[in-house]
């Protein structure tokens, strides 16, 4: 079956997610390279393009800055390029982005960034639209999957028309929304790489050059205000109340207006930078009260307030600065209805629901994040704590720095051993800081394989060079698991040349490197004990593949012997309490293993104080997959 991503049938209606629309937009725009780093909600674009048969080269880079630099080279050689990242990744790439936004680009260069209002995934609640202002580059903010497709295609044209990079900004909710999308024509551009040797454009040596580049970037934004203004749509209705809304807030507004038969003057803003000054002015001139709706920071709102300040009799502007619309979290049709009620001065009634919401809320079950059953990290943290105790250390007094990804789940019960989460690869630098401050040793740094490649290498070199005594624990599960199993440069069976972590760390002279299989508990504990007492920077790699990606098909069945099991009430510390394995279930006082979930990792067999859990060979032997 041919994929809808690449099929050349203009006018066909398909069901696309926001991310599929962007992937399709690249195909329609004749893009030559798509690169980036995995980060929810933007990850699927590259995964989709990797899986289809198209002339587009799609591949992951080691981190967002490198991805953006690769994209820039491709653009400066005259080819169309998309680079994808989540908002945190934009911070990583920003150094290069600001520089390239000043220089300008040749082949269309579009930066797809995904923000996460309401923090569905956990990281800083950041409004990346500020980067458009900071770097003087235009930013398009679509409102639905159809616009994601159309704006992606247009963003390349705009980028080439103004000669600079263009941001395309989506959010978690928008990128994960699926709706009917009408396909456009597939373009195949036959481009040949060509470089215009121009130091004035491509270097920053000399203040005259840099000031000129700054002016040119500002001119590009100014030009965008004219050429891209058709994306901003003003609907004048002659009402005293007007609304200015952007991206998803526009969808929520239309939901409320149509549901309640309200036909107000409204302006849809699709260019977050530059904001459409003329159309905002027009809206303000024809109304007495204006509500501005956008998610996160009051960026458009402040632009509206600036326009209002230049008027003799400006209308009242409502939004975030007055506290009516929240800055924290995302919006919903209900919040928009309430804000609009306030501005209209009359109550718009909510839909009549059931009167049991509060009670339902109080009964809700909170689901604490824990490792999957059979996850190698559970074994790794269990062994770490066990080793500390065997060495006479109190795990609650030891500083263990954590990093981004599944590895940080060591923060949760029952392990409660990781204490920090800052950014990709930061655990090693943090540990160095704690050591320098004089914290009791050992201070342990933990990170995953993905974070090590992304940003963990330079802090490790720093720790070696400054002569620290630091145990570094690398929980290597072979994939970027939390974002959906992308391969990295250490992945066995990955799609690049493999550069193992142990080779890299040996290369810059750490004291010792040991690779251990975390499913071998005794070996792991022994390795930890050595690691925690050694001098210098020592690296322990606990290598076992992510079970969600590579299920362990071992030939063992793990069962509880009810005769030996002390029962839930009778046991001093039950396996459920100590391991939080989702495959161990409690049935009244009985403890059972759910065979549908069990990955036969054997940790509970090792743990059980009454030796009541046993593993026995299955009758049908299955081949073991793994490392």
Q: Which residues bind other proteins (CB under 8 A)?
A: 13-15, 120-122, 143-144, 146, 173-174, 176-180, 248, 251-252, 254-256, 258-259, 332-334, 337, 350-357, 359-361, 363-372, 406, 409, 413-414, 482, 484, 548, 576-577, 580, 582, 585-586, 596
Give me the least distance between CB of 446 and other proteins, in Å please.
17
Task: Closer to other proteins by CB, 82 or 248: give it.
Answer: 248
- Dist. CA 317–CA 267, nearest whole Å: 14
Strand-strand pairing, 265-269 and 233-235:
antiparallel
The least CB distance from residue 362 to other proteins, in Å, is: 9
Distance CA(261)–CA(264), nearest Å, equals 10
Q: How many CB atoms lie within 10 A of CB 493?
A: 11
Give CA 560 to chain center in angstroms. Answer: 40
- Tell me how far apart the alpha carbons of residues 431 and 108 are, in angstroms, rounded to a whole number: 42
Cα–Cα nearest to 112, from 81, 143, 133: 81
Q: How far apart are CA 233 and CA 245, in angstroms?
A: 10
CB-nearer residue toward other proteins: 375 or 542: 375
Q: Are 318 and 343 a contacting pair, CB within 8 Å?
A: yes
Q: Which is nearer to other proteins, 24 or 337 (CB)?
A: 337
In the complex with other proteins, the residue whose CB is nearer, 205 or 356, is 356
C-beta closer to other proteins: residue 291 or 372: 372
CB of 177 to other proteins, least distance (A): 4
Give the Cα separation of 285 and 280 in Å (integer): 9
CB of 530 to other proteins, least distance (A): 31
Nearest distance in Å: CB 512, other proteins: 32
DSSP 272-336: EES--HHHHHHHHHT-SEEEEE-SSS-HHHHHHHHHHHTSSSPPEEESTTTTSS-SSS---HHHH
Closest CA to 283 of 258, 246, 320, 248: 246
CB of 370 to other proteins, least distance (A): 6
Q: Name 596's Cβ contacts closer than 8 Å, sequence gap at least 6.
A: none
Q: How far is the CB of 258 from other proteins (least distance, A)?
A: 6
Taking the complex as a whole, how short is the minimal distance between the CB of residue 450 and other proteins, in angstroms? 15
Shorter beta-carbon distance to other proteins: residue 248 or 431: 248
Contacts of 395 (CB under 8 A, 6+ apart): 384, 385, 388, 389, 417
CB of 448 to other proteins, least distance (A): 14
Cβ proximity to other proteins, 16 vs 37, nearer residue = 16
CA distance 88 to 84: 12
Work out the angle at residue 232's Cα, subtended by the Cα atoms of residues 231 and 234, and round it to the nearest 5 degrees: 135
Q: What angle do CA 413, 420, 535 make, to 5 degrees?
A: 105
Strands 166-171 and 584-587: unpaired
Helix-helix angle 277-285:299-309, to 10 degrees: 60
SS (H, E, C) 420-468: CCCCCCHHHHHHHHHHHHCCCCCCEEEEEHHHHHHHHHHHHHHHHHCCC
- Please state the length of the chain: 627
DSSP per residue, 505-545:
HHHTT-SEEEEE-TT-HHHHHHHHHHHHH-SSEEEEEEE--
User: What is the rounded CA–CA span in Å between residue 47 and residue 565?
Assistant: 46
* Angle, vertex CA 113, rays to CA 494 and CA 121, nearest 5: 75
3-class DSSP state for residue 384? helix
529 vs 549, which CB is nearer to other proteins? Answer: 549
Nearer to other proteins, 398 or 601 (CB): 601
Task: Give min distance, CB of 378 to other proteins, in A.
Answer: 12
Nearer Cβ to other proteins, position 498 or 586? 586
Whether the Cβ atoms of residue 162 and residue 227 lie closer than 8 Å to each other: yes
**Distance in Å, CB of 116 to other proteins, minimum:** 10
Find the shortest distance in angstroms from Cβ 17 to other proteins: 9
The CB-of-78 to other proteins minimum distance in angstroms stands at 36
Minimum separation from the CB atom of position 392 to other proteins (A): 29
Choice between 40 and 213, CB closer to other proteins:
40
CB-nearer residue toward other proteins: 40 or 84:
40
Query: CA 521, CA 19: separation in Å to the nearest integer?
Result: 42
169 phi, psi to nearest 5 deg: -115, 130
- The minimum distance between CB 514 and other proteins, in angstroms, equals 28
**Token pair listed for 597:** 């979930």
Q: How far is the CB of 505 from other proteins (least distance, A)?
A: 28
Pairing verdict, β 81-86 and 109-115: parallel
Q: Cβ closer to other proteins: 470 or 604?
A: 604
């Amino acid at each position: 079956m041919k994929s809808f991503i690449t099929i050349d049938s203009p006018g066909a209606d398909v069901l696309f997610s926001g991310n599929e629309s962007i992937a399709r937009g690249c195909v329609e725009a004749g893009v030559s390279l798509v690169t980036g780093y995995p980060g929810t909600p933007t990850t699927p674009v590259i995964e989709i393009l990797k899986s289809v048969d198209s002339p587009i080269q799609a591949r992951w880079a080691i981190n967002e800055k490198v991805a953006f630099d690769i994209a820039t080279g491709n653009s400066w050689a005259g080819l169309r390029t998309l680079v994808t990242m989540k908002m945190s990744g934009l911070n990583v790439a920003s150094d290069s982005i600001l520089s390239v936004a000043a220089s300008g680009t040749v082949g269309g260069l579009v930066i797809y960034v995904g923000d996460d209002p309401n923090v569905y995934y956990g990281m800083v609640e950041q409004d990346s639209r500020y980067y458009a202002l900071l770097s003087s580059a235009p930013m398009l903010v679509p409102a639905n999957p159809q616009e994601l497709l159309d704006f992606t295609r247009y963003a390349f044209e705009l980028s080439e028309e103004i000669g600079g990079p263009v941001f395309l900004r989506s959010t978690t909710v928008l990128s994960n929304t699926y709706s009917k999308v009408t396909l456009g024509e597939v373009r195949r551009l036959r481009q040949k790489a060509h470089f215009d040797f121009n130091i004035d454009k491509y270097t920053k040596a000399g203040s005259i050059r840099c000031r000129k580049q700054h002016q040119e970037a500002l001119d590009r934004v100014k030009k965008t205000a004219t050429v891209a203004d058709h994306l901003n749509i003003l609907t004048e209705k002659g009402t005293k109340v007007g609304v200015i809304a952007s991206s998803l807030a526009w969808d929520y507004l239309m939901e409320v207006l149509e549901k309640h038969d309200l036909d107000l003057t409204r302006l849809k803003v699709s260019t977050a930078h530059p904001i459409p000054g003329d159309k905002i002015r027009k809206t303000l001139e024809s109304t007495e009260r204006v509500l501005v709706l956008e998610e996160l920071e009051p960026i458009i709102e402040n632009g509206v307030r600036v326009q209002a300040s230049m008027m003799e009799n400006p209308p009242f502007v409502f939004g975030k600065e007055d506290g009516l619309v929240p800055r924290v979290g995302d919006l919903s049709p209900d919040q928009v209805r309430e804000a609009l009620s306030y501005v209209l001065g009359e109550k718009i009634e909510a839909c009549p629901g059931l009167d049991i919401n509060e009670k339902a809320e109080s009964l809700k079950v909170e689901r604490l994040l824990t490792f999957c059953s059979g996850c190698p990290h559970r074994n790794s943290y269990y062994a770490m704590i066990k080793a500390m105790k065997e060495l006479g250390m109190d795990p609650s007094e030891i500083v263990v720095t954590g990093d981004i990804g599944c590895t940080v789940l060591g923060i949760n019960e029952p392990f409660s051993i990781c204490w920090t989460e800052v950014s990709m690869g930061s655990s090693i630098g943090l540990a160095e800081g704690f050591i320098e401050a004089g914290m009791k040793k050992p201070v342990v740094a933990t990170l995953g394989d993905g974070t090590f490649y992304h940003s963990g290498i330079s802090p490790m070199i720093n720790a070696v060079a400054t002569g620290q005594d630091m145990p570094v624990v690398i929980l290597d599960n072979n994939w970027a698991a939390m974002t959906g199993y992308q391969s990295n440069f250490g992945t066995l069976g990955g799609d690049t040349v493999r550069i193992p972590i142990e080779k890299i760390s040996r290369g810059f002279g750490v004291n010792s490197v040991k690779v251990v299989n975390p499913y071998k508990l005794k070996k792991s504990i022994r390795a930890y004990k050595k690691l925690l007492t050694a001098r210098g920077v020592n690296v322990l790699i606990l290598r076992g593949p992510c079970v969600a990606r590579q299920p362990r098909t071992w030939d063992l069945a793990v069962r509880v012997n009810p005769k030996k099991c002390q029962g839930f009430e009778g046991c001093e510390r039950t396996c459920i309490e100590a391991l939080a394995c989702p495959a161990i279930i409690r049935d009244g006082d009985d403890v059972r293993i759910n065979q549908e979930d069990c990955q036969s990792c054997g940790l509970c067999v090792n743990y059980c104080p009454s030796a009541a859990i046993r593993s026995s060979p299955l009758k049908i032997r299955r081949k073991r997959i793994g490392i």
